[in-house]
A and B are shown apart, each in its own frame.
Chain A
């Protein structure tokens, strides 16, 4: 890392606190609190959706009514009043936008504060961005450049209008609405998200990126991402999240579905920095996310890389169904919890195709009074020959009031499978910090050095731009946690 970069990080670290915690004064178009079939019909009609969408939503809603919030995770969550949430809030805008100049200046200012240049700079940095604020996608850059290659990258709502056949074919095929409580809720009320379609044989020439932000008060964010990669195609997709500071808890329940066909490859990277609540544990985002991909075709590949530093509660298990013969998946995760944050996160690797391979590298970092759990399933079905898995789950503790837990689940029904699991727990000690101090390194820098060293394997898997952001976030989230 360059020196200037390090200085900047140090400055940010010493200033502490949640730096994304501003809220923007944007006129929003939202509906009344609460959830009912009428609300769902209203969302669907506001979005001018075709009939099949409304049906899907209503089926999901009716199924959700029969379900209970899961309690198996190592999380303490106060009861959530689902009638006290606004299920639709879109920034109000007048007409269709022709160019970037037409975007509401307030919205643009918000994104500038977030450091997302929604303008020509992006062309230079070669990133196409789909920005979702609260529930609606504001503006997708680069659409035309991508369209030339036959790539579709747009908001979910636009996809519903412009490519209903693709949506109908793939939506809910990887994460059915019956899958779990939050998936059902999302399927009923989701308001926007991103859609990516990479045609056969196309390598997406740039990283596709979505930035999510919850802005309005009392709003839930329910976005949905669908990525379809045809045979021999490739895409790297980045997702970032922030939210303003608020005293009440806000709900975020997202779905990500990824379909990877023969010889295709998807890299999905996340930097999640939702507001974690204050030092006393007040406020923060409840983050309940269902992310799943299917390696459908032979020799297909799916990689998940995530840095999770935010949210009061995280419940998230990006998973891969390895269906195609010779398909493979990797999961790299760093989850940081500080103060009163709680995280129960991990992955599932379901080996169905022959000679399928999966790798799991999970690094948990706990500080303050937080709780951090890894929960992972490796399943090899009976007919699957030659499956291989390697899992490594490490926990790092700062201080003695936090907790780290590992819950590996192995279900292996075929004798030819090779499954390995390694786990370690370590602690950043006062002696390590002092050792660094004695060599002239300050305590904050020492923590940054140690934590980034610990998380290196995961951060190295992220695209460059994200890796720098992730390193900063690690240092910032752990500020003041030792000494």
Chain B
């Protein structure tokens, strides 16, 4: 589904990603862990096509297409969803209008007619129930005045609406209390199918108690330095990232 080879990316001339290699198959959940500044969020942004970053080397193939050739909106319509670490507020734009525009853009891309108002509202209702988000939130402007936890829930709701092939969740656990964490994680688990894949970016093992990864990668200084099963997360929790650093020096 996703194949990243030797990906290098920089911002303002400073190299952040220094040769990432990553293969993700349909239905897999990959966790990417690592200390602050390792390049985790940069990787997420580069996959989504944020122009702030320059890709200097390497290739990314997604669903058989050269991802780096596509605009951010086309990547979204190809099925990449980025759950933002800090979701953006858009005052005055209702969540309904925002989602309707987004859903219909996805449909147009697939050659489908836009949804009728009634069908769209039914879809909203179903997805709201699925991810346990309150109508009080979806009736407001996009993320405007939401708490940190509410914003993260709204990300998962949008993900449910857009049904991506690959969801990249960038520190979705940051700023969440334990109840919100459970709701968000439940949402992600309910949306999982045999075809779609998830990349979970996190600092802490905590989230991985709820979203169980197939593979755990450790990103350090712009490279993936260790890849193993889910037990790696526990090991990291116990030993900290210094252990990886020491191992690298050896």
Judged by a CB distance under 8 angstroms, whether A445 is at the interface is yes
CA distance A255 to B222 in the complex (A): 66
Judged by a CB distance under 8 angstroms, whether A437 is at the interface is yes
**Contact in complex: A440, B114 (CB < 8 Å):** no
Which residues of A386-443 have CB atoms within 8 Å of chain B's CB atoms? Answer: 426, 429-432, 434-443
Name the segment of A164-172, A288-296, A448-456 touching the other chain: A448-456
Interface residues of B: mostly helix, strand, loop or mixed? mixed
Q: Point out the residue from A436, A438, A442, A456 that lies within 8 Å of B92, measured CB to CB.
A: A456
CA distance A453 to B102 in the complex (A): 15
With A435-B90, A450-B90, A450-B92 known as contacts, the answer to whether A441 contacts B97 (CB < 8 A) is no
CA distance A330 to B89 in the complex (A): 29
With A3-B114, A439-B76 known as contacts, the answer to whether A449 contacts B88 (CB < 8 A) is no
With A438-B72, A441-B101 known as contacts, the answer to whether A453 contacts B141 (CB < 8 A) is yes
Neighbouring B residues of A440 by C-beta, 8 Å: 73, 76-77, 102, 105-106, 109, 162
CA distance A61 to B233 in the complex (A): 85
**Contact in complex: A439, B102 (CB < 8 Å):** yes
Nearest chain A CB to B185's CB is how many angstroms away? 22
- Smallest Cβ-Cβ distance to B83: which chain A residue: A438
Q: Point out the residue from A426, A431, A445, A453 that lies within 8 Å of B88, measured CB to CB.
A: A431
CA distance A437 to B77 in the complex (A): 10
Neighbouring A residues of B87 by C-beta, 8 Å: 435
With A431-B88, A445-B101 known as contacts, the answer to whether A438 contacts B76 (CB < 8 A) is yes
**Contact in complex: A434, B50 (CB < 8 Å):** yes
**Contact in complex: A437, B97 (CB < 8 Å):** no
Judged by a CB distance under 8 angstroms, whether B94 is at the interface is yes
**Contact in complex: A437, B93 (CB < 8 Å):** no
**Contact in complex: B162, A453 (CB < 8 Å):** no
CA distance A430 to B82 in the complex (A): 16
**Contact in complex: B98, A439 (CB < 8 Å):** yes
Neighbouring A residues of B52 by C-beta, 8 Å: 430
Neighbouring A residues of B109 by C-beta, 8 Å: 440
Neighbouring A residues of B162 by C-beta, 8 Å: 439-440
**Contact in complex: A437, B141 (CB < 8 Å):** no
With A438-B48, A440-B76, A440-B77 known as contacts, the answer to whether A449 contacts B101 (CB < 8 A) is yes
Count, A-B residue pairs, CB within 8 A: 77
With A426-B91, A434-B72 known as contacts, the answer to whether A449 contacts B98 (CB < 8 A) is yes
Which residues of B55-91 have CB atoms within 8 Å of chain A's CB atoms? Answer: 71-73, 76-77, 81-82, 84, 87-91
Neighbouring A residues of B93 by C-beta, 8 Å: 449-450, 453
**Contact in complex: A453, B49 (CB < 8 Å):** no
- Smallest Cβ-Cβ distance to B84: which chain A residue: A435
How big is chain A's contact interface, by range?
20 to 34
- Smallest Cβ-Cβ distance to B102: which chain A residue: A439
**Contact in complex: B72, A437 (CB < 8 Å):** yes
Judged by a CB distance under 8 angstroms, whether B41 is at the interface is no
Q: Point out the residue from A3, A442, A449, A450 that lies within 8 Å of B73, measured CB to CB.
A: A442
Judged by a CB distance under 8 angstroms, whether B104 is at the interface is yes
- Smallest Cβ-Cβ distance to A429: which chain B residue: B88
CA distance A436 to B49 in the complex (A): 12
**Contact in complex: A438, B82 (CB < 8 Å):** yes
Neighbouring A residues of B106 by C-beta, 8 Å: 440
Neighbouring A residues of B94 by C-beta, 8 Å: 453
Most chain A CB within 10 A, of B84, B97, B101, B106, is at B101
Flag B137-178 by CB within 8 Å of A: 1 or 0 each: 000010000000000000000100010000000000000000
CA distance A432 to B90 in the complex (A): 7
Nearest chain B CB to A399's CB is how many angstroms away? 15
**Contact in complex: A3, B104 (CB < 8 Å):** yes
With A434-B72, A453-B141 known as contacts, the answer to whether A441 contacts B92 (CB < 8 A) is no
- Smallest Cβ-Cβ distance to B92: which chain A residue: A453
Closest 5 pairs between A and B when the two form their complex, measured CB to CB: A453-B92, A453-B93, A437-B72, A435-B88, A439-B102
Which residues in B have some Cβ–Cβ distance to A below 8 Å? 48-52, 71-73, 76-77, 81-82, 84, 87-94, 97-98, 101-102, 104-106, 109, 114, 141, 158, 162
13 additional A-B residue pairs with CB within 8 Å, beyond A440-B76, A440-B102, A441-B101:
A432-B88, A435-B87, A439-B76, A439-B105, A439-B158, A440-B105, A442-B73, A442-B105, A449-B97, A450-B92, A450-B93, A453-B94, A456-B92
28 interchain pairs (CB within 8 A)?
A3-B104, A426-B91, A429-B88, A434-B48, A434-B50, A434-B88, A435-B90, A437-B73, A438-B73, A438-B76, A439-B76, A439-B102, A439-B162, A440-B77, A440-B102, A440-B106, A440-B109, A442-B71, A442-B105, A445-B101, A445-B105, A449-B98, A453-B91, A453-B92, A453-B141, A454-B91, A454-B92, A455-B92
